[in-house]
Chains A and B, each alone.
Chain A
Amino acid sequence: MKRLLLLATLFLAQPLLADSNLPPAYWSERQLPDPRQEAEAQALMEQLRCLVCQGQSIADSDAELAGDMRDLVRRRIAAGEKPDAIRAWLIQRYGTWISYKPTDEPAAWPLWLAPIALLLVGGWLIRRRITVRRS
């Protein structure tokens, strides 16, 4: 009996976390009923960066603000908004930092040119190593 009481007290004691006392938002932990919309929402959530985490997407985060952002994404997708529009809306407020998917702005071009450039440089470096002997 004593042990049960002890457990109960420990259970009720709130941990010292900087968390609000409100429960999570409705759509932060539920899937949309339409599977295609849910897939769209999931894909977008994996590309949005959590604002309070150390480098995670909002899809993988336990933080409250991430949950609220998931709720926002799902509600808007359910309302028919396109994922790109939602991403653009968030970028308007937080800058490109919030999108893990590099946008098509000039600052991101080197990222996409890098693999091509590396392949070309590598190919040029090995050009003398391989011959096609005509026999």
Chain B
Amino acid sequence: MSRAVRFAPLALLLAIIAALVWRLATPTDTNVHSTLEGKPVPAFDLPAIIPGKPALSSAHLATGQPHLVNVFASWCVPCITEVKVLQALKQRGVHVDGIAVRDRTADLADFLARNGDPYERIGSDAQSQVQISLGSSGVPESFVVDGKGVIRYQQIGPIEASDIPTILSQLGRAR
């Protein structure tokens, strides 16, 4: 048996161990990111869910101003604390729009009354169809959309206070 064949299993083992060590060392990002960053928002037209609050469609996202589109729901627990951060962003002049996934009017109205309402518009996505077309895989997620309707940045998970600078800079770049 030649030396190459005899030592091949060992060599293979070392390569595999190296890959596994790398895997353990680098923290895994188990989130599935949308691949639409840099691409235009897919066309959609969602109905209103709160009486008096205008509905949301993709046309509203291409009016020259950057928008922060927040995919959320009243049954989503981390969304409760996120609303405060969104309020802070709104006070800095950010246009915050909401897509309510699988939600009911009564529950959503109750949620907004209890936690605050930073949204200029809210569209109702009763069967997650727009959520899927955006490449979003859960709630809450947020998308920075520029004035021409192109998605510039995706935030997976709730926006925390420490994320505000990032969001603001992304919005700034999206002008």
Give chain A's interface residues, CB within 8 Å of chain B: 18-22, 25, 51-52, 64-65, 68-69, 71-72, 90-95, 97-98, 125
Given A18-B76, A51-B32, A51-B137, answer yes or no on A68-B104 (Cβ-Cβ < 8 Å). no
Contact of B103 among A22, A90, A94, A95 (CB under 8 A): A22
A97 to B65 alpha-carbon distance, docked (Å): 33
Minimum C-beta distance from B49 to chain A (A) = 12
Taken together as a complex, chains A and B put the C-alpha atoms of A91 and B32 apart, in Å, by 12
Distance between Cα atoms of A52 and B156 in the complex (Å): 13
Q: State whether A93 touches B36 (Cβ < 8 A).
A: yes
Secondary structure call for the B interface: loop
A94 with B137: CB separation less than 8 A: yes
What range describes how many residues of B lie at the interface?
20 to 34
Q: Bound state CA distance, A95 and B128, in angstroms?
A: 18
A97 to chain B, nearest CB (A): 6
Q: Is the CB of A95 within 8 A of B132?
A: no
Check B35 against A22 for contact (C-beta < 8 Å): no
Most chain B CB within a 10 A radius of its CB, from A68, A71, A97: A68
Check if B36 sits within 8 Å of A64, measured CB to CB: no
Cβ–Cβ contact A93 & B75, under 8 A: no
B145 → chain A, closest Cβ, in Å?
15
Give the chain A neighbours of B5 by CB distance below 8 A. 125
**B102-143 near A? 1/0 per residue, CB < 8 Å:** 111001000000000000000000111101111101100000
Chain A residues with CB under 8 Å of B133's CB are 93
Instruction: Specify which of A21, A25, A97 lies most central, judged by the most chain B CB atoms within 10 Å of its CB.
Output: A21
Report Cα–Cα, A125/B1, bound state, in Å: 10
Output the least CB separation between B37 and chain A (Å).
11
Q: Does B170 count as interface, using CB distance less than 8 angstroms?
A: no
Q: Which of A25, A69, A94 contacts B32 (CB under 8 A)?
A: A94
- Given A93-B35, A125-B5, the answer on whether A65 and B137 have CB atoms closer than 8 Å is yes
What is the chain A residue whose CB lies nearest that of B106? Answer: A21
**B104 and A22 contact, CB distance less than 8 A:** yes
Is the CB–CB distance between A94 and B35 below 8 Å?
yes
5 contacts between A and B (CB under 8 A): A64-B128, A65-B131, A93-B133, A94-B32, A94-B135
Closest CB in chain A relative to B165 CB, distance in Å: 28
Residue of B nearest to A89 (CB): B133
> A68–B138 contact, CB under 8 A?
no
List B contacts of A90 (CB < 8 A): 132
- Give bound CA distance, A125 to B5, whole Å: 9
